Chain A
């Protein structure tokens, strides 16, 4: 039997992240076989009749370790195995559905407006291919590099979000929102999409570094707000309430999972809800928006208009749908049919069954993402996986929620399905990072690598030397 998890010396050609940024235990040292368990991942290449072919595929995906690696070599070593292909399945399925639906909903209108039925879907195809490449690259790169990049990424995101608000030739205002930046001949980019990634990466880095101190107000909650609020506030200024929601929810999810003291929010949350209620009740426009999402027929020509158009499309779909390309509403009256309301077109052409399929696919992403987060080899990876999964799934659910009138109307894309280059590329890169983490998952992984709080910061007894001596290493995978 061929070795699946040969240890690879740090000196091989592969780039190894700088150890400074990496918590000690991220690097597996020779591990005693104390907690040997069954192979946790079903997708490991197994030698057999098709062993060779699978090896090749796996090699391409970067999972095959260097054969010559000699066991027992001391030094920085890393275990890698196949990425989680089960995560890839719903992503590819959603992208395929996306390209189909974008074509179906935009073809006729593009043909009429620009004499080119592929005007929208052609771009989408191109972006999908670029996104896949970006994903494969991100997958093969050790995600720990991101720790080094996290601060610059966060800074760039802030700058980009400021730039988008500044008037100038680069600024593109769409529907009252300044969301796009155009630089030179490049296609316009959407800084808020990049900001999601940057915030998630930086938060994962910072939370991993903070460790258990996250539950304190001074070292946890306050700095968390200092990190998250500037990004969120800048996106609110655009204004882009949908992205604001996704950013807030994803950041908060990471914070909670990282070990935030929820009791602190027992007070903050009701106050926040009260503040939102107050703002909404004093702002007639926002109040109207809320009322319209509760009952879109209250204002059918105004606020409720978009929602009703989407619901009519859903109604036409019924149980099994009108059939691919048979949409009557798409491109005629469903607003942003190939963008924010693409789920309405899915519901019309494939009915309830199609709509439920899409929801289940996102649930599959959530499940695989959570598994990766649970089995991640270190805190950074676990939190990063949590953040990315929460971001993608919550964004999808908010988008669907808008279409089915459960969430007030916000302009936000359905990840992998909606047309839009920035969204697609960034989403694919995020999944690439997720896959990169999945290549190093451990059985029953527990993130015990974070900087344990040693001494006196919030009155706990000093734990002499435990951290420095290194904690008990975990079981290596069957070797």
Chain B
């Protein structure tokens, strides 16, 4: 009917819309109050509740033998309540405090000004030594001091000095604890919740809700590391010596047990003093990053071992396959040269690796597949299986995955493949390298590196180590490493240890300067990754001398005061001593294996000597040192 404005239908629809909206609101309300209710309730109670009990002291960190690496104890905070002092007495108290604290000149004047101001509370000094605390107490007892208070505060200590001056032991690995009690870097950050524990939380309402326990809390837990403090100290000393001798920007090394992935020692020079983190944070905060896993670099020829692994596995080469090694090979518009710009003619493949021939390795890499892309896929597949380009999963913070181009994402050109075959154009962490070599020598199991062996006395479970290459291949690669370490006389002299099985591969890499778009002149990264053991490898050691200018003797002949392989041998000898790996000379071959399994049980004389005479490693008890 014309003229009617009755809208019964639309009004009914409106009512239906209202009902739908109400149902939606009700459903959403039920979602929050029932489905997510428990979660929200816990969250809410945690926000309202007050900590009524401290979680106790932060847990200690000890090495595999119980040597304390990090501990917490109370140190007094000295405060003065100057408003309670008659003005005439303030100067006397200030002078006495200055005497006890050993303040002179400007600092003493400032202290006097603080006291003279007459504030009700002023902090004079934090972290008093025990002598200073005692002297203050004595002064109060004698009546020389009044209106002062000592407030014990928990303070983290790293009692062991490191191998380099003004450092603490394993500083990069451990990290430190900041003023708010939060771990920063390394183990301290990774295991923050466990080390710090949780305080007991209780609702502090003024009404009937008060006293309800929200969280029972847990005390801080203790950590036992896989690190051996003695080996760590020796390692740091060796690195420091090399750092000084080679004038490198950094020298770092990591020692990993190939079968378990346990990190036995890991250090870099320069390191830092974790007891003085605040000053370093202000000066150079970058120095806290652990270069072993937080820095990537182009490793150079050590990556040739992965070409060998891929070549052996695919059957592209055998150790005896003759390879024609020319001085250079042209690939597209680029050219690959040998380091000495010479060719060695036809040589077996194992010598291509042993003499570190760039051209020969590139040719083998090309043979991995029917074309460049297929070969690149095969090589990249081997990298991935050995953990190159992925985080190792070590229980530390700040690990980087490396920079590895995936041929499935962006195809490699032939020059890419050639360069990456000898470790240029690919960036990895040292820990990745150590792990990849561990897999190559341990029978082919992809172990996950770890630093924590036990939590509160309960051993942590080792993560499963899937087999990624066949044991026979692993054995062949070990033989190849042994040959690489013993073929060139210069390297053999620096690397081999009589009575022990040693193998490894050197690497010398140019450094790309992205700013200039060219290689940094006459500056190199020197690497060596290898193993040492008896009947089987007992330690894999990855060494890097970062950014150093060697003496250039001739084309491809670079001379360092301490070469990477010599540094490897020094660390290997230390590991033999500390881990008590028996020599084949001293034991009949049948016993060697038994003893080798007892790693860490005995101590060599040299390791004990370090503990006693070096006074660098603290005694096993947990008391902090009397003086900082």
Contact = CB atoms under 8 A, between A and B. Distances in A.
Interface stretch (A45-53, A140-148, A255-263): A255-263
Interface stretch (A152-160, A167-175, A399-407, A412-420): A399-407
A347 B33 CA distance: 8
B519 interface: no
- Give the residue among B14, B205, B209 with the most A Cβ atoms within 10 A: B14
B10 A313 contact: no
Given A316-B44, A326-B209, A359-B25, A463 B33 contact: no
Given A316-B40, A319-B33, A351-B33, A400 B2 contact: no
Interface in B15-39: 15, 18-19, 21-22, 24-26, 28-34, 36-39
B4 interface: yes
A155 to B, nearest CB: 26
B16 to A, nearest CB: 10
B4 A448 contact: yes
B409 interface: no
Contacts of A351: 33
B408 interface: no
B32 A332 contact: no
The 3 closest A-B pairs by CB, nearest first: A315-B40, A452-B3, A312-B44
B5 A316 contact: no
A212 B43 contact: no
Contacts of A208: 5
25 contacts: A214-B5, A253-B14, A312-B40, A312-B43, A315-B32, A315-B41, A316-B45, A319-B33, A326-B208, A328-B48, A328-B205, A356-B26, A359-B25, A366-B15, A366-B19, A367-B15, A370-B14, A393-B18, A397-B21, A406-B24, A406-B28, A447-B4, A452-B3, A453-B3, A454-B3
Nearest to A454: B3
Interface residues of A, number: 60
A446 B4 contact: yes
B489 to A, nearest CB: 64
Interface in A343-400: 347, 351-352, 355-356, 359-360, 362-363, 366-367, 370, 373-374, 379, 382, 386, 390, 393, 397, 400
Nearest to B15: A370
Contact of B32 (A211, A362, A363, A404): A404
Contacts of B29: 314, 347, 352, 355-356, 359, 400, 404
Given A404-B32, A405-B28, A328 B5 contact: no
Q: DSSP class of A's interface residues: helix, strand, loop or mixed? A: helix
Contacts of B32: 311, 314-315, 404-405
Interface of A: 208, 211-212, 214, 253, 256-259, 311-319, 326, 328-329, 332-333, 347, 351-352, 355-356, 359-360, 362-363, 366-367, 370, 373-374, 379, 382, 386, 390, 393, 397, 400-401, 404-406, 446-448, 450-454, 460, 463, 466-467
A373 B15 CA distance: 11
Nearest to A343: B29
Contacts of B19: 363, 366
A452 B6 contact: no
A4 B30 CA distance: 47
A386 B48 CA distance: 45
Contacts of B208: 326
Nearest to A318: B37
A259 B5 CA distance: 7
Given A311-B40, A318-B41, A448 B15 contact: no
Given A404-B25, A453-B3, A332 B33 contact: no
Given A314-B32, A352-B33, A447-B4, 17 more contacts: A214-B5, A256-B10, A257-B14, A258-B7, A312-B47, A314-B40, A315-B33, A317-B33, A326-B209, A332-B48, A333-B48, A360-B22, A366-B18, A373-B11, A386-B11, A393-B18, A448-B3
B1 interface: yes
B28 to A, nearest CB: 4
B8 interface: yes
B40 A363 contact: no
B253 interface: no
B121 to A, nearest CB: 27
A390 B15 CA distance: 9
Interface in B584-617: none
Contacts of A211: 3, 5
Contacts of A463: 2-3
B25 A406 contact: yes
Nearest to A328: B48
B375 interface: no
B44 A212 contact: no
A400 B25 contact: yes
Contacts of A317: 33, 37
Nearest to A322: B209
Contact of A397 (B1, B25, B45): B25
Contacts of B203: 328
B220 to A, nearest CB: 27
Contacts of A355: 26, 29, 33
Contacts of B45: 316
Contacts of A352: 29-30, 33-34
Contacts of A332: 48
A218 B204 CA distance: 66
Contact of B11 (A257, A359, A362): A257
Contacts of A256: 10, 14
Interface in B40-56: 40-41, 43-45, 47-48
Contacts of A253: 14
